[in-house]
Chain A
Amino acid sequence: MALIRFTNKGIYCKQGDFYIDPWKPVKLAVTTHGHADHVKWGNEAYLCHELTKPVLLHRLGADLNIQTLRYREEITINGVKLSMFPAGHVIGSAQIRLEYKGEICVISGDYKVEYDGISTAFEPVKCHTFVSESTFGLPIYKWLPQQVIFDQIGTWVNNNQEQGKTSVLIAYSLGKAQRLIRGLSETDRPIYVHPSIANLNDAFIQAGVALPETIRISPETRKEELQSGIVIVPPALADGRWIKTLQQAATGVCSGWMQVRAGRRWRSADAGFALSDHADWPGLLSAIKATEAEKVFVTHGFTATFSKYLNEIGIEAEEVKTQYGTQEEEVEVGSQGNPVIKEEAD
């Protein structure tokens, strides 16, 4: 019998009686990472990497039943051996490895293969069945090394500076924001972050993650002060009023979708930087080949195209409908499970 099945609640392991990243409330939710489309409020218990715990506490509320694992630490649930391996997507993101009677299955969650300097580097895991994402599963998506992108951002910031503009980067508060903070700390410019990012940073710092220094934006922060630094805000604020109150804000969206010109134009940003926390086309292919899996299930993204291609190159693949990747904008979830989009830096 197969080790996992795809149900209307999410990916289910019957032998172990738990779900991986379910989108409806269940008894035990094994959680790959803390993005809103992978973890929901209302599960009886959570099992996640130790660095995802602060994210869940911060986002879903303090009274959660959370058990944590370190990378490569193994536990057994109803006879199924479960362990976590770094997915390189965001801090604490994990691939879930399941083993039962010699059968091995790995669920990738979201992953990228390039080491970003802040999330533990992706590690391929040999398995029989691999569940892969395909967010950027088209050959047009090939990332440049992140240092090249950071240099581009640095040049952009300098140009803005010369023209008296305030540089505002739009980045997810979990993952992209920390990656930018690390990457841009070398510019020696003060980095100002929106409170939703600052709160998350504080949670990571408390959990022992070393992060470069940033300044939390508050109502007292002077706009002239921001002008000489770099401002990072989450996507929910991209079109909000707050940015309009800045002195000549120049906005730069950091996202893999910025690889394509049309993507840059659709987001009415001034600049787009193709910086992604997902694997690009070569990354997906190399990761999948490294698993030596006999069967690949392709979840969210260009599932049909990518699985068709895998089959053509001799890797048995099948597309799976999931609810991952459906929330394009990041939404903060309040303790009552209600989405809260904070418009103002309060």
Chain B
Amino acid sequence: MKRFTELIAQLEMSNKTNDKIAALVSYFSEANDLDKPYVIAMFPGKKPRRPVSTALIKEWAIELSELPPWLFAESYHSVGDLSETIALILPPPAKTTDLPLHQWINALGDLNGKDDESKKNFITNAWNSLDMQERFIFNKLISGNFRIGVSNKMLVNALAKQSHTESNKIMHSIMGKWKPDEISYQELIEGAHVDTDRSWPYPFCLAYALDSQPESLGDVKDWQAEWKWDGIRGQIVKRGGELFIWSRGEELVTDQFPELHFLAHELEDGTVLDGEILSVKEGKVQSFSVLQQRLNRKTISKGQLETAPIAFFCYDILEQQGIDQRGKTLAIRRKALLEIIKNIKTEGTVVLSPVVEVSSWEDLALLRADSRLNNSEGLMLKKLDSLYHSGRKRGDWWKWKINPYTVDTVMIYAQKGSGRRANFYTDYTFAVRDGEQLITIAKAYSGLTDQEIKEVDAFVKKNAIEKFGPVRTVKPELVFEIAFEGIAESKRHKAGLALRFPRIARWRKDKKATEINTLEDLRQLLNSTL
């Protein structure tokens, strides 16, 4: 626990990615081996069941601190985090303990099903044995809600560096199903479990935005053009009679899309498909906002199944008859994919994402201009002899998006509106990432529904950091896609460029602030539109 507490302190002590990775590397070199899988499980948000309710935790903390409940509430209001408030407010510990992290986590897990009195004894005894920092972490462990600014990617990079292993192998390994009490750190690093685990997906192959004229890519015949769909990138895994659907956010979303469950019977074992989950009605792809009604829900109502039915548009095949296909060329994979889709008996739900057939780049450009007509964002250009890479790699796959341009940003300032909206924060300033910093790129007033405005308003009131007159600095957490008509150089703006007619295209609740665009992305765009 002490070494882990030290890690958290180190992670908090720097804003720089390299420092954080260095802290993680030294942690994974020095910590108790049994603790390590638990720490890895913590970051990708593998939430254990919460053993004690927040209400009870709060009640016991108030009792121990001998403070009136209103004063506890005031303190919580000032701190903004319950785990931290409790850690700060309790009397100093009377004992110390060196119990390792994994034993704490297991002991918390064992509390499930016990009576409140034994839970109380355990928790209050723990509080009395841990210092302020350790208590904070202990409280976070109870809540199962540990978010400390380390992305999966950062964790994977640190593990790769520490163990001298390829990062995609580690990504593979930690993405799958495993339990920290059943696997050793070494096994996890080596991916010993992934052969026996049926669900594991492959890392997605991602594309960069095209930053030059397509003619520079050479002969159009060497390329396969597809629509760039605006849905949820997904991977369908069928192994051992079971079906798994993974989203690009490395989340298992199988239960959210019952329309696809028939694949469990119709796909051969050892098949993995890459594609896009889209809302499709009468053969027509719907806009993302229709699909959005279906996302992140625990249960799907009949009404939702009718108003936002989904389909899977297949891009690629990654595994066939249990054999990894990623080392074959796109041309070969596409043929195999065709065969597989042909053999699916249920029609209309799982289809090939069509290839856009053209004989010249000019023809393709013309078709691209109409992309919005079929609710796509433009085109994808994939080299016919390209292999299926892990992650983002330049050269073989390109996104060739159409206007309006869009950029994923994070909200950093908010201001109240006027008139009808005088009581709500409706005017927002958005930023993109520039190295370690956030840099403002646009201000926008419109584009959200009243319901969404209320939600954002509540967030701003809860997460305001600083006041500058009527403006509030807010925690950079909410991601919005900003649409705009053009981009130009600007000396007046800190970013060095300005967006024309920026407006909120949509609230990307599915994205985290770590996933927003960078200033460099916009500069590239600027160069490609000159």
In Å, the complex CA distance between A264 and B89 comes to 18
Q: Closest CB of chain A to B526's CB: distance in Å?
A: 26
| B466 and A266 contacting across the interface, CB-CB below 8 Å | yes
Q: Closest CB of chain B to A135's CB: distance in Å?
A: 13
A-B contact count (CB 8 A): 49
Contacts known (A260-B84, A262-B81, A266-B466); A140 close to B15, Cβ less than 8 A: no
Q: Closest CB of chain B to A252's CB: distance in Å?
A: 9
Q: Choose one: A139, A268, A271, A308; the contact of B75 (CB below 8 Å).
A: A139
| A140 and B85 contacting across the interface, CB-CB below 8 Å | yes
Q: Choose one: B15, B78, B92, B466; the contact of A138 (CB below 8 Å).
A: B78
Q: Using an 8 Å CB-CB cutoff, how does the interface string of B78-110 with A read, 1 for contact, 0 for none?
A: 111100110011001000000000000000000
| B88 and A140 contacting across the interface, CB-CB below 8 Å | yes
| B88 and A266 contacting across the interface, CB-CB below 8 Å | no
- Asked if A65 is at the interface of the complex by the 8 Å CB criterion, the answer is no
Across-interface contacts of B357 in A (CB, < 8 A): none
Across-interface contacts of A309 in B (CB, < 8 A): 68, 71
- Asked if A338 is at the interface of the complex by the 8 Å CB criterion, the answer is no
| A268 and B15 contacting across the interface, CB-CB below 8 Å | yes
| A139 and B89 contacting across the interface, CB-CB below 8 Å | yes
| A262 and B80 contacting across the interface, CB-CB below 8 Å | yes
Q: Closest CB of chain B to A329's CB: distance in Å?
A: 13
Q: Closest CB of chain A to B132's CB: distance in Å?
A: 8
Q: Which residue of B lies closest to A263 (CB)?
A: B79
Across-interface contacts of B84 in A (CB, < 8 A): 260-261
Q: Using an 8 Å CB-CB cutoff, how does the interface string of A137-172 with B read, 1 for contact, 0 for none?
A: 011111000000000000010000000000000000
Q: Choose one: B13, B79, B466; the contact of A140 (CB below 8 Å).
A: B79
Q: Which residue of A lies closest to B437 (CB)?
A: A268
Q: Using an 8 Å CB-CB cutoff, how does the interface string of A115-152 with B read, 1 for contact, 0 for none?
A: 00000000000000000000000111110000000000
Q: Which residue of B lies closest to A266 (CB)?
A: B465
In Å, the complex CA distance between A138 and B81 comes to 15
Across-interface contacts of B65 in A (CB, < 8 A): 139
- Asked if A63 is at the interface of the complex by the 8 Å CB criterion, the answer is no
| A261 and B78 contacting across the interface, CB-CB below 8 Å | no
In Å, the complex CA distance between A138 and B74 comes to 8
Across-interface contacts of B29 in A (CB, < 8 A): none
Q: Which residue of A lies closest to B10 (CB)?
A: A159
Contacts known (A139-B89, A142-B88); A270 close to B14, Cβ less than 8 A: yes
- Asked if A259 is at the interface of the complex by the 8 Å CB criterion, the answer is yes
Q: Closest CB of chain A to B461's CB: distance in Å?
A: 15
In Å, the complex CA distance between A270 and B10 comes to 10
In Å, the complex CA distance between A302 and B74 comes to 10
- Asked if A305 is at the interface of the complex by the 8 Å CB criterion, the answer is yes
In Å, the complex CA distance between A140 and B87 comes to 9
- Asked if B295 is at the interface of the complex by the 8 Å CB criterion, the answer is no
| A140 and B14 contacting across the interface, CB-CB below 8 Å | no
Pick the most buried of B14, B70, B78, B92: most chain A CB atoms within 10 A of its CB: B78
| A312 and B80 contacting across the interface, CB-CB below 8 Å | no
In Å, the complex CA distance between A270 and B74 comes to 28
Across-interface contacts of A261 in B (CB, < 8 A): 12, 81, 84
Q: Which residue of A lies closest to B84 (CB)?
A: A261
Q: Is the interface of B mostly helix, strand, loop or mixed?
A: helix
- Asked if B67 is at the interface of the complex by the 8 Å CB criterion, the answer is yes
Q: Which of B238-261 contact A (CB under 8 A)?
A: none
Q: Using an 8 Å CB-CB cutoff, how does the interface string of A298-309 with B read, 1 for contact, 0 for none?
A: 000010010011
Contacts known (A142-B88, A268-B15, A270-B15); A260 close to B79, Cβ less than 8 A: yes
Across-interface contacts of B71 in A (CB, < 8 A): 138-139, 305, 309
Q: Using an 8 Å CB-CB cutoff, how does the interface string of A1-32 with B read, 1 for contact, 0 for none?
A: 00000000000000000000000000000000
Pick the most buried of B14, B65, B79, B92: most chain A CB atoms within 10 A of its CB: B79
| B78 and A140 contacting across the interface, CB-CB below 8 Å | yes
Across-interface contacts of A142 in B (CB, < 8 A): 88, 92
Pick the most buried of A139, A250, A270: most chain B CB atoms within 10 A of its CB: A139
Across-interface contacts of A262 in B (CB, < 8 A): 79-81, 465
Q: Which residue of B lies closest to A260 (CB)?
A: B79
Q: Closest CB of chain B to A317's CB: distance in Å?
A: 14
| A260 and B68 contacting across the interface, CB-CB below 8 Å | no
Q: Closest CB of chain B to A123's CB: distance in Å?
A: 25
Q: Which residue of A lies closest to B136 (CB)?
A: A261
Across-interface contacts of A264 in B (CB, < 8 A): 12
Q: Using an 8 Å CB-CB cutoff, how does the interface string of B445-482 with A read, 1 for contact, 0 for none?
A: 00000000000000000000110000000000000000
Across-interface contacts of B68 in A (CB, < 8 A): 309, 312
In Å, the complex CA distance between A312 and B71 comes to 11
Q: Choose one: A139, A141, A260, A271; the contact of B13 (CB below 8 Å).
A: A271
Contacts known (A261-B81, A261-B84); A138 close to B75, Cβ less than 8 A: yes
Across-interface contacts of B89 in A (CB, < 8 A): 139-140
Pick the most buried of A140, A156, A250, A266: most chain B CB atoms within 10 A of its CB: A140
In Å, the complex CA distance between A262 and B85 comes to 11
Across-interface contacts of A270 in B (CB, < 8 A): 13-15
Q: Which residue of A lies closest to B78 (CB)?
A: A138
Across-interface contacts of B81 in A (CB, < 8 A): 261-262
Across-interface contacts of A305 in B (CB, < 8 A): 71, 74
In Å, the complex CA distance between A289 and B494 comes to 54
Q: Closest CB of chain A to B15's CB: distance in Å?
A: 7
In Å, the complex CA distance between A262 and B463 comes to 10
Pick the most buried of B14, B88, B465, B466: most chain A CB atoms within 10 A of its CB: B88
Q: Using an 8 Å CB-CB cutoff, how does the interface string of A279-304 with B read, 1 for contact, 0 for none?
A: 00000000000000000000000100
In Å, the complex CA distance between A260 and B75 comes to 11
Across-interface contacts of B75 in A (CB, < 8 A): 138-140
Q: Using an 8 Å CB-CB cutoff, how does the interface string of A164-190 with B read, 1 for contact, 0 for none?
A: 000000000000000000000000000
Q: Closest CB of chain A to B459's CB: distance in Å?
A: 15
Contacts known (A259-B88, A260-B84); A139 close to B67, Cβ less than 8 A: yes
Q: Closest CB of chain B to A176's CB: distance in Å?
A: 20
Q: Closest CB of chain A to B196's CB: distance in Å?
A: 41
In Å, the complex CA distance between A140 and B466 comes to 20
Q: Closest CB of chain A to B381's CB: distance in Å?
A: 40
Q: Closest CB of chain A to B416's CB: distance in Å?
A: 21
In Å, the complex CA distance between A259 and B85 comes to 11
Q: Closest CB of chain B to A280's CB: distance in Å?
A: 11
In Å, the complex CA distance between A125 and B75 comes to 29
Across-interface contacts of B70 in A (CB, < 8 A): 308
Q: Closest CB of chain A to B6's CB: distance in Å?
A: 10
Q: Closest CB of chain A to B147's CB: distance in Å?
A: 12
Q: Using an 8 Å CB-CB cutoff, how does the interface string of B10-54 with A read, 1 for contact, 0 for none?
A: 001111000000000000000000000000000000000000000
In Å, the complex CA distance between A30 and B80 comes to 39
In Å, the complex CA distance between A13 and B89 comes to 38
Q: 3 tightest A-B contacts by CB?
A: A140-B88, A271-B13, A140-B75
Name B residues whose Cβ lies closer than 8 Å to a Cβ of A: 12-15, 65, 67-68, 70-71, 74-75, 78-81, 84-85, 88-89, 92, 465-466
Starting from the known contacts A140-B88, A156-B13, 4 additional A-B residue pairs (CB-CB under 8 Å) come to A141-B88, A268-B15, A302-B74, A305-B71
Sample (6) of A-B pairs whose CB atoms are under 8 Å apart = A138-B78, A266-B465, A266-B466, A268-B15, A270-B15, A302-B74
